[in-house]
Structure formats: structure tokens, C-alpha cells
Structure 1
Amino acid sequence: MTIDSCWLVRVKMFVKSRLLSKVCFMQTRGMHLLNQKAYVDGEWVTSASNQNFNVINPANGSVIGTVPNMNVQDAQEAIEAAAKAFETWKFTTAKERAHLLRKWYNLLVENQDSIAKIMTAESGKPLPESAGEVAYGNSFVEWFSEQARNVRGEIVPSPVPSKKIFIDHHPIGVAALITPWNFPHAMITRKASAALAVGCTCVIKPAEDTPFTALALMKLAEEAGFPKGVLNLVTSDRNNAPAIGALFCESPLVAGISFTGSTQVGKILYKQCSSGIKRLGLELGGNAPFIVYNSANIDKAVEGALISKFRNCGQTCVAANRFLIQNEIFDEFVDKLTQRVKQLKLGDGSHPGVNLGPLINDAQFHKVSGMVEDAVSKGAKVLAGGKPASQLGSLFYEPTIISGVQSNMQVYNEEVFGPVISLIRFKTEEESLQIANATERGLAGYFFSEDVTQIFRVSSHLEVGMVGVNEGLISTAEAPFGGIKESGLGREGSHHGIEDYTYIKYTCIGNLK
């Protein structure tokens, strides 16, 4: 065999080994976290129908694995298991619950690399970004393990000496948690750890695109020692999801619903919950403005724009959507931003150096490409990107900047949920606020200014639940996350995150001497 042929054989063997390692990466370090069954009443189970569905890697279209395609019957069994477990779990002490949450947190930290790999495979996120979400999601378990022992009641001074007035908090019961694909780890831990901390039990329905991350969390919760039935997870495809959601809303055994997802679906769940007057938490879509004023530090504004827009390829509910740039600094900001955007690397999230992965599925890809096409057809100008990156795969779309955006374009009025920056020029602060607030959504808003009086003024007038001032990344376990208007109800994270899972009981003791 010649030297050249030996070299070729070695190259082929190397390539083959790399391909096998990528296809089977979860068969090594992450194998014990790869579960292809659902988790109900402390058991790993299949669906009643014995049907499954495939979970697809959006970067290359390969099948990662299969999970049970559960239906209403399966969901009912999970609800009943949670209701039975609640009868004992609600009487555990705050210290006991805090201890279990801390054990879960420790296991999540020990296994964070494996969870991140699973997440990248099923969501398409770049691996460093998946690792960031794992750390972020873990922080909620740690936070609520500490908050469990800080839910305090009150003794209220009585108007008469013969009475004592006590106020305390009780868990509401079974909490049904419906979570999205864009943050498959953090949206579960943010909800479940708050519910568990106060004595609720949970039934979780993760998104059909990303169930393996959720199942990994259940595996580690099982290892932490949570009693059977306290945490349950059902998986289903898109066809069965509406019926399961309706069951959650209408079942008398479910005390509360927490949902993160689209405003459209949130409205449906809101209506369905009305028959039982359930406790309801909704974290819905946004249409976040990103405003850059004349006084802003341009370089910081550009960095903030990249963080707030392109995290998870723009597929976050708090992603900046409409970029409002004041007239005097418009050209400078756009030039610097365009240079940076053109440097972003698009590709398979498991590869080193990649900044953006693919969009999650065909529906999302067609939505993004359609909105850009609509804008261009109505006069918008593409400054960067603006087309699919089909050479990388069917779900890749180039990071895009479009200018000349007008009110008759979809990108002006709707949440794009993709890697598209829509530039709008404005003249005055009053005009910027008018444009920013001209939407039924009110989740997050961002603005950059070095004028302290303007900072307080604009922050006060923005009609959103969360404001980032000179900052593009605002989420943290210590802060209340949520919106106003059609962006939802309630708050998650912070000490307020427990409120949706407790009710207040007032006790009056009379005839005291």
C-alpha cells in the first residue's frame, strides 16, 4: 500500500469515527440521561396506544430518538398520580422540600455538560449557548430551594382584644406545566422548582420538538429522591397536544396551569380554564422594542443588539424585534451593527465557533423567510443576509438586517422569532415611545441612553413588564419575569414566582381572654 493510500484510509477512518461519535454522542457520557420513555408516578412508561414519534435534530434532519406519543388517557393517569402524591407531599416541611431541591440542583450541575449536548442536538442551539441555558435553568432550582423556607405568614393586629388573626400560605395542589421548545431546560425548572418549593405536585408537558432535555431533568429528579407522583412528565406530538392541554385546563384535579408559548395558544388556554376558575400563569409572546437614542454609547448598543436579538437564533420571547434608532446616530449605529452581524458564524451548534444554529422546524423557517420577503416586496432594503443558508441545511437562515421598515410590513407589527433585525428611524423621544408602545404585546423592552433623566423617563413610559437599560440580557432567577397586555399574567422567578402556586388562608381565633 502506498503512502498516499495509507493516508487516505486513515482520513476515511477518522471521518467515520467522528461521524459515529456525533450520531452516538449520547451513548457515552450522556447515556444515563437519554430516556425514550415518559415519566409517570415514579415509573418510566410508554403510551397507552404504544405509539411513538421521532425527535429530529434541526441542524441535519437526523432522528435523535423516539418518545411516547401520549394521549388524554395517559395525561389523566399522570394527573391522578400527581393528585394522589399531593395528599402527602403538601404536608412535608419546607426544610424537606428545600433539601430535595438542593439535591436536584447538585445533580443538574454535575451533569450539565451532558444536558447541554442533548439540548444542542434537539434544539439546534450552539453548544456554549446550551451550556448557558443549563446554568440559567439550574439557578432556578437553587433559588427556589432557598425560597422554600422563606414563605412566611402574618399575624395581623386584631381590632378587638378577644381575637387573633393569622394569615398563612398553602399549596394550591396539582400544577400542570406546559413548556416551549426554545428553552427546554429553564422553562421547566423555573416553573417546577417554584411549585415544588411550596408543596405542589407537577404534571409537565414539554414541547414535542425538545422532549429529551425534559426527560433528562426527570431522570435527575428521580435520582435526587423526589417521591413517586410528585413530578410527572407526558410527551406527545402536535396532534395530541391540544387535547392534553384542554384536559389540564378542565380537569377538576388540576389546580393551576402555567404556560409559556404563543399568545394565540395562551388565549385558548385562558378560555378553557374559565370553567374551573383555575390559577393561571401565562408567559406569552412579545414584540420587544430596542431603542437607541442620540446620547447612547454606540458600541455598547451594538453589543446589546447582538445579545438581545441573536440568542437562540432570535427564537426567544424577549428577543428585540423592532430596532428604533434616532436619526442623528442612525448611520453610525447601522454601519457598526452590519459589520458585526456579517461576522457571525452560522452552522451546526455542535461545531466549535458557531454563533447561530438552525431554526427549530419548517413552520418557523417559512414564517421567518416569509416575513422578510413581505418586507422586501413592500420596499424594505436588505443590508445583510436576507435569504436561506441552504448550503448548511434546510432550516438555516442567514442573520439578517433590513432597513426602511414601515407600518404596513409584517416585521413591523408581528414577532418575527428569528434572526432578523428590522430598522426603524425616528426623530424624537416622543415618537420612539409612540412606536414602541403601539402593540398589544408588552413583555420586554430595551433602550440605550447615557442621559440619566431620559433613562428614568423612558423606563417609566415603556409599556412592558421588563426593561433593559443599556443592557441586552436581563433574565435572572432573582428578578420577576413576565409581561403585561397580551404578553401574559403572573411572574416567574424572584420571590414573586411562588405566588401562583399558593393560596392565602385567613384564620380568626375568637373568644380569647
Structure 2
Amino acid sequence: MTQTLSDQLTPELAERTRVLLRGFGAEIPAPGDLTVRTPITGGQLLTIRADTEEQAHAAITRAATAFDAWRTVPAPGRAAVVRRLAELLTAHKTELGELVTLEAGKIGAEAVGEVQEMIDICEFAIGLSRQLYGRTMPSERPGHRLMETWHPLGVVGVISAFNFPVAVWAWNTALALVCGDTVVWKPSETTPLTALACHTLLRRAAVDVGVDPEVHQLIQGDSRIGAQLVDDERVALVSATGSVRMGRIVAPRVAQRFGRCLLELGGNNAAIVTPSADLELAARAIVFAAAGTAGQRCTTLRRLIVHADVAGPLTALIERAYRQLRVGNPLDDGVLVGPLIDQAAHDNMRIALERALADEGELVCGGERVEVFGDNGHYVRPALVRMPAQTAVVREETFAPILYVLTYHELEHAIALHNAVPQGLSSSIFTTDQREAERFLAADGSDCGIANVNIGTSGAEIGGAFGGEKQTGGGRESGSDSWKAYMRRATNTVNYSAELPLAQGIKFG
């Protein structure tokens, strides 16, 4: 019966995908060697042609050529295309969210929320276009002015992952465009259709406001196509989101040619819960952070470090919530946990749970496969596992909904446990004690790029810089002064006197 449902649904989803693409104004891709599957049933949506290395090279050439003129457009003028993109995203918000669900498996609320995040970063970038400030510094020489200016950097290569197939691209692209850069985007080969939709909308926005659409290029394919961006000297900045393994490959290759790298890699995020915490509030935040997007966020909560005095009550609250979570087709109302992206993700989760139990962990609940469409699609119940210690498997990032629970007695020990992993993206503490909160945020507290108090590890706002330390890569995207990664700085000295005094009081001749 379930097999029949899957067989019936997949063609419907494939046809709906074509309808959505036409609605964005995109041409239906010609059949090719890249198979696009929906994680909802595991069935095929479309096949498309991957770009050749020659086609990728040509796309970079077009972006490099367009940059010569684009960098001379005043920044508020460059913002016009981003403003129009925001308008188009708003008009197509529901449809683009649906396409994200079809291709990445996110539930509807999260998918539409991702599109809203795109709109938000566009609005941020529009305002930023009038705030690309430099500084004026006092010169030690009379009749001189010392200042710094910021200029467009060049071609920006964006390599994005499947779990945020459109938002991360928007973080980079909206800022890069107002900074005067052109963009070449290589999306995950798992989610090429959402990329095609966004590319179509952006080029339409460019045409609508009289901008050369060649400022944005899209290349599709596997890591061989991504290598074009990594190795081409015309690509001034490579912004890559993915695994630590990918980052170890990308970073040295870009550095070898003296290019710039912006890396957003793994996250093994933790939350500390102290005895003073509001446990009801903490439980709600923890469940969303750990189970949302089926555990496939870089900011997913994976480790829970709880004071021994409240570990029992808190674990019971989380267990109760986990047992009530509805796992199923993300297109259905009321579903809170959709599918894992593919078989490999499911296998990795199963192996991690086996290792945790071999390390004397106790499976409190979850971890089992849920048959939504029989053997089609990879649906699982989020797993809650008590661990006696932070073993090797706990220190690793498994991109699936597994939450490991550890206990502590002293806050210093909790912070040490928190920091004792290779990754450093997002972190939280739940407490009503200001001293504990401030201790967690101090220089010797959380070592992550994001440190929160009384909220979960996921759900970052675009106004703040997003990124992390250690094996997370050190990159920063989105808000604050992240724009500086997309520009080059020049220090300028202007002599408006009739003399030529030298710095440091040097007398020459």
C-alpha cells in the first residue's frame, strides 16, 4: 500500500516541480546526467545536465568581465537589483518555500522561513549600500589626511550545501552585489532546482532595473565543478559551506593561489542547563534546536550538558515532547519532522547510535525508522541518548537528529565539556543566574562564534554575524560587519600642503 502511495506521489511531485519552475520563469532543464531526487519519497523529480569544466570556465569569464563595469556603479545604485530581488522573493515566497520542501525535505514552516531569511538579508544589504564606511585617522604629518576606503573585491564564488539551499546563497549574494562584486554560484548537486529558481529571479531582477544580468552566474555539478571556483585565480573570494572534510580541501587550494576563503563548516553544538534554569522554556528551545530540520542544520543542538540536580526532570520533559513529535511527509499539515536527505544520512545516524550504545550510552527514546512511504524516503524519530562521558562519537558531528545528554556538577566542568570538541559554531546556556550567564559569555567561557543565553543554538538572525571558530572555519556571513569580507581595504594618505614631511620624522638629504 505504502509502495503504491509512493509510486503515485512521486510523479505528482515531479509535475509540481515543473509547474513551480515555470512560475519562476525558469526553463525546464534538458534531461542529463544529474539526477534530482526528492527526499519525501526518494523518487526522481528531474534529471539535468551538469556543466562541463569548459562551461564553468566560461561562466567565471562572464562574471569577471561584468565586474569591470559593475564595480564602478555607486553602491546605492547596485542596491537596486537587490531591492527588486526582495520584491520578487516576496511575490514568490510560498512557491519557493514549496520548492525547498520538495527538493530538501524541509517542513513548510521552515522552508518558508528560509525564504523570509532571504528577504531579510536583501533588506539588510539595501541599507548597507549607504553604510560602507571607511575611517579618517589623524596623521602625524602636518598638512596630511590619513584615511581608509573600501572597494569591490572581484568575483565571489559561492559553494552552498543542501540543508539551506537558498538562504546561505542569499547571505553571500546580497552583500556581494551591493559591495560591487559579481557572483558565481555552485549549489549542492542535491538541490540544483531551487538554485535554478533563485538564479532566474535574480537575473529577472537585474533586467527589470537595467543591470547587466551577467553579474550573477550559476554552474551546476559535482565537486569537479566546484573545483573550478576553488582554483581559478579570477575568483577573489570563495565562500564555501559544507563539511570539515570539504574545508580541508578548499582552504589550502585557495590559499596556494593567495585567494580569500570564507568557510562555514561543521558544528557540534551544545547547551548547558544550570539548576536555576526555567526547565519548561529550556525544553521547548532544546526540542526545536535538536529536532528541527531533522537534525540537518549546522546549528542543530547535538550535546546537552545538564546539571545533575535537574537532569532527570529535564530529560523527562524532552522525552515527552519527542514522543509527541509528528514525523512524516513535510507537505502535510502538522508534521514537525521531515525526512533525512538520503540513505547515507540514515546510515550515518544508525552507525552513530550503535557506537553510542557500545560506549555504554542509554537510548531514552527515538532512533527508529518511521515508514511513511514504506522503504521509500528516510524518516526517523529524533533520538535522545544518555551518555556516561563525552566519548569519540559525541565529539563528532553526525548530521542527523541525535541529542546526547551529559551531566555535570560544577559550571567550570560544564564549560570544559562544552569546549572539548573540534567544532565551534553555536552554543547556549539556560540559566536565570546573571553570573552564570556572564561567565558563559566571557573570554574563557564558550569558545564558539555564537553564544546564546536562554535560547537554543539554532535560529540565528541576519543582523548578527554568522559563523564559528576552530573546525567551523572562522568565516562570518550575513550581518554586522561581515560585508568587509567582500571588499578590499585601501589606506590613503593625502598631502594638501606644500611641504613633504616624512613619516617617523625621518630627514632625507
Fold match by TM threshold 0.5: yes
Q: Report the count of equivalent residues.
A: 485
* TM-superposed deviation, 1:426: 1.4
- Aligned ranges 1:105-504 → 2 under 5 Å: 105-225=86-206, 226-237=211-222, 241=223, 243-392=224-373, 393-410=376-393, 412-460=394-442, 461-472=445-456, 473-504=458-489
Cα 1:389/1:36, change in 2 over 3 Å:
farther
- 1 CA distance for matches of 2:33 and 2:358? 42
Percentage of pairs with the same residue: 26
Sort the Cα spacing of 1:22 and 1:486 in 2 relative to 1 into closer, same or farther, 3 A.
closer
List runs of 5+ in structure 1 lacking aligned partners: 1-14, 39-45
Task: Tell me which moved more, 399-408 or 350-359.
Answer: 399-408
In the TM superposition, what whole-angstrom CA distance separates every residue of 1:463-484 from its partner, at most 9, and x where no partner exists? 1110121001441110110111
Report the AA paired with residue 478 of structure 1.
G
Q: Counterparts of 2:58 and 2:398 in 1: how far apart (Å)?
A: 38
Contact 1:203 1:231 in 2 (8 A): yes
What is the CA-CA distance between 1:66 and the residue it aligns to? Answer: 2.2
* Alpha-carbon distance, 1:149 to partner: 1.4
Q: 1:278 to 1:18 in 2, by over 3 A?
A: closer
8 Å Cα contact 2:36-2:47 kept in structure 1: yes
Deviations 1:1-43 (CA, angstroms, capped at 9, x unpaired): xxxxxxxxxxxxxx999887544224546532274678xxxxx
How far apart are 1:146 and its partner, in Å?
1.3
Partner of 1:43: none
Could you list the per-position Cα deviations for residues 379-432 of structure 1 after superposition, in whole angstroms to 9, with x for gaps in the alignment?
Answer: 22211112222454341111111113533351x111122111111111111111
The equivalent of 2:39 in structure 1 is 58
Task: For residue 429 of structure 2, give the secondary structure of its aligned residue in structure 1.
Answer: strand
Which residue matches 2:15?
24
SS, match of residue 141 in structure 2? coil
* Contact 1:30–1:114 (Cα < 8 Å) also in 2: no
Q: Helix, strand or coil for the counterpart of 2:405?
A: strand
Q: Is the 8 A contact 1:33 1:216 kept in 2?
A: yes
1-structure distance, mates of 2:293, 2:143 = 60
Q: Residues 354 and 124 (structure 1 numbering): CA distance in 2 closer, same or farther, change over 3 Å?
A: same
Structure 1 residues 383 and 72: alpha-carbon distance in aligned structure 2, compared to 1, 3 A threshold: same
Q: What is the rounded CA distance, in whole Å, between the counterparts of 2:354 and 2:20 in structure 1?
A: 43
What amino acid sits opposite 1:89 in the alignment?
Answer: W
Query: What does residue 86 of structure 1 align with?
Result: 67
Query: Gaps spanning 5+ residues in structure 2: where?
Result: 1-5, 499-509
User: Conserved in 1, the CA contact under 8 Å of 2:13 and 2:45?
Assistant: no
Q: Which has the larger displacement, 210-219 or 82-91? A: 210-219
Partner residue in 1 for 2:506: none
Q: Does 1:96 align with 2:80?
A: no
Alignment partners' CA distance in 2, 1:276 and 1:23: 42
**2-structure distance, mates of 1:29, 1:175:** 28
**C-alpha distance in 2 between matches for 1:450 and 1:433:** 17
Aligned Cα root-mean-square deviation (Å): 2.1
Q: Distance in 2 between matches of 1:236 and 1:133?
A: 23
**Further displaced range: 82-91 or 129-138:** 129-138
With over 3 angstroms needed to count, the CA separation of the structure-2 counterparts of 1:480 and 1:164, relative to structure 1, is same
Alpha-carbon contact 1:245-1:269 (below 8 Å) kept: no
Question: Post-superposition shift, 1:442?
Answer: 0.8
- Answer whether contact 2:14 2:46 (CA < 8 A) is retained: no
Q: CA deviation at 1:158?
A: 2.2
- Measured in 1, the distance between the counterparts of 2:382 and 2:145 equals 63
Deviations 1:226-266 (A, max 9, x none): 413200011113xxx1x333322221211111011111111
Are the equivalent residues in 1 in contact too, given 2:146–2:493 (CA < 8 A)?
yes
Equivalent position SS for 1:305 = helix
Question: Given the two structures, how large is their TM-score scaled by the length of structure 2?
Answer: 0.91
Amino acid corresponding to residue 236 of structure 1 in structure 2: G
Residue-by-residue CA offset, 1:95-127 (whole Å, 9 max, x unaligned): 111111111001101101110111000101111
Residue 283 of structure 2 aligns to which amino acid in structure 1?
V
Question: Is the alpha carbon distance of 1:34 and 1:23 closer, same or farther for their aligned partners in structure 2, counting shifts above 3 Å?
Answer: farther
Q: Is the 8 A contact 2:367 2:381 kept in 1?
A: yes
Amino acid at match of 1:424: L
TM-score, length of structure 1 as denominator length? 0.90
* 1:373 CA displacement: 1.4
Contact 2:34 2:50 in 1 (8 A): yes
Q: CA deviation at 1:156?
A: 2.6
Structure 1 residue matching 2:432: 3-state secondary structure: coil
Pair 1:17–1:56, CA change in 2 (3 A): closer
Contact 1:34 1:212 in 2 (8 A): no
Secondary structure in 2 matching 1:208: coil
